[in-house]
Amino acid sequence: MKDNIILIGFMGTGKTTISHELSKLTGYKEIDTDQYVEEKEGLSIPDLFSKHGEEYFRDLETKALTDLQNINHIIISCGGGIVLRDKNVELLKCKGQIVLLTALPETILERVKENQDRPILRNNMNLPFIEELMNKRKDKYLSVADIIIETDNKDITAIAKEILSKVNFTLPSQFTTTNSQENLP
User: Would the annotation count 12 as a binding residue?
Assistant: yes
Residue from 179, 178, 182, 166 nearest 99 by CA: 166
User: Would the annotation count 15 as a binding residue?
Assistant: yes
User: Would the annotation count 151 as a binding residue?
Assistant: no
User: Would the annotation count 14 as a binding residue?
Assistant: yes
User: Would the annotation count 58 as a binding residue?
Assistant: yes
Residue 77, beta-bridge partner list: 7, 32
User: Would the annotation count 107 as a binding residue?
Assistant: no
Question: Residue 24 in contact with residue 178, Cβ under 8 Å?
Answer: yes
Question: Residue 125 in contact with residue 25, Cβ under 8 Å?
Answer: no
The H-or-E segment that residue 165 falls in is helix 156-166
Distance (Å, rounded) from C-alpha 12 to C-alpha 109? Answer: 8
User: Would the annotation count 53 as a binding residue?
Assistant: no
User: Would the annotation count 118 as a binding residue?
Assistant: yes
User: Would the annotation count 9 as a binding residue?
Assistant: no
Crossing angle of helices 45-52 and 33-41, in 10° steps, is: 60
Q: What residue numbers does the annotated binding site for substrate cover? A: 34, 58, 80, 137
Q: What residue numbers does the annotated binding site for ATP cover? A: 12-17, 118
Q: What residue numbers does the annotated binding site for Mg(2+) cover? A: 16
Q: What residue numbers does the annotated binding site cover? A: 12-17, 34, 58, 80, 118, 137
